[in-house]
Structures are given as structure tokens and as C-alpha cells.
Structure 1
Amino acid sequence: MKCIRYICFVLAAGFALAACDKTDKAYKDFAPGGEITYPGKADSLKVNPGKQRAQLTWLLKTDSRIVKCRIYWNRRADSADVNVTRTTGVDTIRHTLGDMGEGPYVFEVYTFNAQGDRSIKAEANGDVYGSFYESNLVNRTLKSAVITGGNTKLDWDESDPRSPGVDLRYKDAAGQPQTRRVPATEKTTLITGAVQAGSVEFQTLYLPVPNAIDTFRAATAKVNL
């Protein structure tokens, strides 16, 4: 009985070794260089939109072997390489893509080591804004603009939540051009003295999202006093 058990054990071990050899051969056929090495993945990938451009940021945390990152977009029809010099800590990588068409995008980022091994994918969605978005922006409503007591008084309506303020332009009493930033929270603007030519111009500023890297402007509005 012991002899039979021993023979069965030897046969089972032989089959197991043969199976391992086949599996190992199949793996090596699939990965001729041996084990696949994946560099550390790009972490916390974010897209900061701009005017016909987009800034991508991500973190490189633990893998000191990373020497390059590659960004893909437009279903991998377009790409950009970013060379990397690692430090001993966490590195923040920023790269801005320019000449982008207006619209939504899906961005993919891979990291590479010196041997050309590629990480798994990091992915993020983002928008690029342009002339179409800007052409649909409207100015903050100026409820009244009057000269009172020798000074100019402007009363504003509520500001759009996306707007950080208004750029106001006029010529002062001496005829000198002046530019003034009116914060979104300001309801009344007082200009010392009467403006020359009896008119002011202004443009409302917009950030489409809080992390936008560019400020957009509504068309110039002119108001006669």
C-alpha cells in the first residue's frame, strides 16, 4: 500500500512539474524578457482647463526609476512626452498642452523607466474652452451710472458666480486713461471726479471652473452717463 501511495505521489509531482514548465514557457513566450516590470503609476491626475489649452498635473510618489511620462489624448491620436528627473520625495509634475481645439477630452498618462517599461494607465477628463464659450458670456448688469456731487457713481446688479469681477475703463478729469478692477462683491463703485467724455467701458471676467488657468472676458460694454 505504501508503495502504491509513493508511486501515485511521484506521478502527481511529475504532472505538476510538467504543468509548471508549460505555464512558465507560455509566460516567457508572452513576455520574452522575463517578468514584466511596471513603473509606478501617475497619481492624482488632474486637468486644469484654459483657453485653447489644458494644464495636466500629477504626482510621482514612490518609484525612483521613472524617467519619462507620456500623455495621450484624442483617442491616442496625439501624444506628448514629459522628461522627469526624480527627487527623493514626492514630485509634482505639470505640463501644459497648447493649440487645443475647444471641447471635452479624455487624457491618459503613463510613466516609463529607462528600460522602456510602461506603467498602468492614469486617466482624467477635462474641457478646453475657446471663442465659442467666450462669445456666449454676458456682462454684469449696470443698474445705473450717474454723476453726482462732481463724482461718478455706478450701481451694479448681482454678479455671476463664475465671475471674479469687472474690468472698468475710463478717462479721468485730466484725460488720463484709467483701469479699475471691480470685485464681484462690490455693489457700488465710486469714481472721484467726473469721467471725461461722459462714458465708461467695462468687461466682465469669467472663470469657467475654479481651477481654470485662463480668465475669459465678455464683449466690451459702453455706457454713457
Structure 2
Amino acid sequence: MKKMNKLLTLMVTLLAILIVGISCDSINDIQSEFAGMEEKAYLGKVDSLKVQPGFGRAKITWYIGTDPKIEQTVIYWNMRRDSIVKDFVRTTPGIQKDSIIIENLTESSILYEFRNKNSKGESSLYSSITVTAWGENFASNLFERKLTMREYDFALSQYKLGLSPAITGDSVVYSQINYKDKDGVNKTVKIERNTDIIELANFPDGAEFQFRNVFFLPQGLDTVYGNYQTFKAPTAKFENGKKLSLKGNISSRYFERDGDKLYEWNADGDVIVYALNEDGSFSQSETYLSLVPRSNYREFFFYNDDKFICVNTGNLVSMHRIVDGRLVTVKTPSGAETFGSSFNMIKFIPAKGFFYSIAPTTGDLRTWFANNDATWGSSNGTTVTKGFFYDPVILFNYQYLVCVDQDGYLWSIPITTSGTFGSKNKIGTGWSKFVKIINVGNKILGLDANGDFYEFDFNVTDNYWILD
């Protein structure tokens, strides 16, 4: 056993000597390879790079250390295929700031690399920074002020505009409007941050104006100008409508279906259907006697698909179909005949897939989303706006609320499929002569106190409707 241990010890010792020998040979080889080379000396590198983005350009700043041998800074980009040389002139023996503005940049991010050099061929290690320049897309994504109201007054040749309020941190310096007045004079109006209402004087009907926001971001280099948006005042249209032979009744409720049928729900509970003819006239096509008794229901309107909504005298909501001349209830999945309660609102405005309600006293306008199986969708009863005291009011082509105020002015308000509002626009005057207005397709019917219908081929955006 002792002989075996001595042999093992001898073998381990020989192996260690062999490894040490090989290692020494490798080190000697490496030393021999670099023995004739001089030690590499680097210049001080560019330090503390910072960028200030600008519109189509950027300013880059950095610091040069105390190395006295630095003569220039070379700036590379495009995989070092392109470069700019910035001469360095030392004005202080300590750390010195330097900068450059790079022009004609696209709206993108580019990697720039910096390296100090001198005439002796000496250079520093690289420093790098990613530079982003601003462009039109950047400006369009900034939080901006928007027009919330456009109120054109034909009699005064005045365009009154409302703007959303400026908020802290939005970077809007001011807003700007350009237009040409009735005398052909170009006008530029600067709207300060604290101004929410502006009046454009001597403004011709049918004329355009351009609106934009101007921004300055604290971290930026330039003032950023948003793109101009073009708006047009409505063109005055003097028209009282075409009188129809169809007689109306101010005690009846009227609503449309699918843009080509006019429904009348009269005081006797009868439902009368009129078809819209190609010449713009209406002819009676169906009559359902006592279909929706007024003793049981206080509201009835077409809703969606083949469904109608009723609100009974107890303020309960139900959904119905008309089948073989009968009013058939669409029951809920649980078998209930009603699916809403406490609907004591003074007015309902039908849309497609939802309807509005107007509350008494407060004028709260709310949205209600009913499914075709007599159940409710989500976000029901959301208040869209308060103080909505307009009468009459309709939804035109399921896109605009068209309504009349107490002074007879006609207004339009664009809506989304979720029932939210866009900017309010004044589009007419003299509409208090009608006690009801009804939308059928692209037409509006005005019903006066005498029961006479007047028909308008209507346009919400282009005209200012002036009635005698």
C-alpha cells in the first residue's frame, strides 16, 4: 500500500510540473507577440451628451475634459459612413462645454457617435447618443386646444367660436386663426391661453378660416406649429320649406324608420305608417288601430331591427315587435315583460342601438343601450351633458342632434356611436315657427301649430337655414 501511495504522489507531481511548463510557454509566446508594439494612448472622450429636439433639427451638447491635445470632435452616423467635423477651440483649462445643431433631419431617431481627435492621429474612445427630431406627426399628437362651439350669426356677420380650456402641462403657447373678412382683408387672430371665446368680426357666410395651435416644450429647441385645420361657415339659405298635402296633428308623436317611413302615433293609440315617395311626398301605407293605447303607454318609438321601445304610464320600459297587426312583447331571457323602471323623463330621442333621455328640471341628457333581447348593454344612463333645454330636438341621420333653442335658433351637434358629443354649431334662425321637427332620411319635416307639414331637403354642415 505504501508503494502505491508513493507512485500516486509521483504522478501528481509530474503532472503539475508539465502544466506549469505549458503555461509558462504560452505566456512567453504572448509576451513575444506584443513585445515590439508601443502602448496605445487615448485622448479624453466626449462626456455627458444631451440632446434638445427641434422641428426638423436637434441641438446636441457635450463636455470636453482637461486633455490639452484634443483639437476636434468628429460626429458619425449612418454606420459611420457619414460624419461632421467640429473643431474644438479651448478657451479654458478646465472642463469645457461644446455643442452643435444638426439641420434637415427627418422625423425619426438616429444614433450619433462622437470621437475626439487631433492632427497627430490620436483619438478617443466613442461616445454615443440617440437623437430624435420633431415633425408634423409629433405636433399632431400633442395635447391641443380644440374648437368646441361654432356659432355663426348671419345678421351680424359674426362668427363666435368656443375653445376647450388650456390645461397645465399641455405646452400650448397660443392658438391662431387666419381668415379673410367681407372686405377681402386677411386677418390673423392670436388666441391667448386664458381666452376660451373668440369672435371673428365681419365674417362672410360660406367663407373658410384656418385654426392651429402653437406649442413650446420646455425640453425642446423650437416652437412647434400644429397643422392648420380648415373650417367653413355655413352658407345662408333662405327657405321656408315645401308645404306638403299631408296633414299633421300636434298631439301625435312622429318618428322615422329606416329613412323611408314616417310613423305617427296619435292620441287614440293608432299607429299610422306613411311611405316616403320619390317626389318627396308621403302616402299612407299601413294603419294599426289602437295598437299602442295612450291609457297604457306614454312613449313609443322605433328602436332597431324590427324592435320598438315603449315606456308605460308607470315609467317601466319594454321592447316590442309588430306581428300580424299586434303589438308583441319581447321578453327578457328570464321571461320578464319589462326591463327598466323609473323612466320618468320628459323626452326620448331614438337612435340606432341606443336612445337618449332628457330629464325634467335639470335637462340631463343620458344615453341608454338596449340589446335586441330586452336586456341592457354597458354604461347605461351615462350623462352626456346637463342643461339640455332644447325643444324640438331630433337625431338627423343618426349622426347629428338637430335642435331648436328658446330664441328659435337651429343647432347641430355631431355625435358618435357611443352617444358622445362633438362641437356645437349654430345652423339657422326662425325655427320657432315649428312645434315639431321630424327626420325622415335626408329630409326634415317641420310641423306648425296649424298642423301643416313643411319639407326641407336638409344639409347639416353646409347651410345656415333662415326662415321668415
TM-score normalised by length of structure 1:
0.68
- 1:105-162 Cα deviation digits (max 9, x unpaired): 1111111133221112221112133455557779632112447999764321145825
Corresponding residue to 1:113 among 111, 118, 121: 118
Indicate the SS of the match to 2:98.
strand
Which runs of 5 or more residues in structure 2 are unaligned? Answer: 1-26, 235-468
Judged with a 3 Å threshold, the aligned counterparts in structure 2 of structure 1 residues 104 and 135 are, in CA distance, closer, same or farther, namely: same
1:41 is aligned to 45
Quick check: 2:177–2:190 contact (8 Å CA) kept in 1? yes
1:99 aligns with 2:108: no
- 1:89-111 Cα deviation digits (max 9, x unpaired): 54332222233333211111111
Give the whole-Å Cα distance in 1 for the aligned partners of 2:44 and 2:188: 49
Q: Which has the higher contact order (CA 8 A, sep 6+)?
A: 1
Quick check: 2:136–2:227 contact (8 Å CA) kept in 1? no
Quick check: 1:157–1:187 contact (8 Å CA) kept in 2? no
RMSD (Å), alpha carbons: 3.8
What residue identity is the alignment partner of 1:166? S
2:147 is aligned to 142
1:166 is aligned to 175
- 1:2-56 Cα deviation digits (max 9, x unpaired): xxxxxxxxxxxxxxxxx89x74x65564xx4x33332222222122223433322
1:178 aligns with 2:182: no
What is the aligned-residue identity percentage? 25
Quick check: 1:139–1:218 contact (8 Å CA) kept in 2? no
Give the whole-Å Cα distance in 2 for the aligned partners of 1:81 and 1:119: 14
Give 1:83 deviation, angstroms.
1.1
Give 1:87 deviation, angstroms.
0.7
Indicate the SS of the match to 1:164.
strand
**Equivalenced residues, count:** 202
Give the whole-Å Cα distance in 2 for the aligned partners of 1:52 and 1:94: 17
Which runs of 5 or more residues in structure 1 are unaligned? Answer: 1-18
1:154 aligns with 2:161: yes
What residue identity is the alignment partner of 1:74? N
Corresponding residue to 1:128 among 130, 133, 140: 133
What residue identity is the alignment partner of 2:179? Y
Give the whole-Å Cα distance in 1 for the aligned partners of 2:215 and 2:35: 56
TM-score normalised by length of structure 2:
0.36
1:10 is aligned to none
1:201 aligns with 2:205: no
* Bigger mean CA deviation after superposition, 57-66 or 77-86: 57-66
What residue identity is the alignment partner of 1:157? S
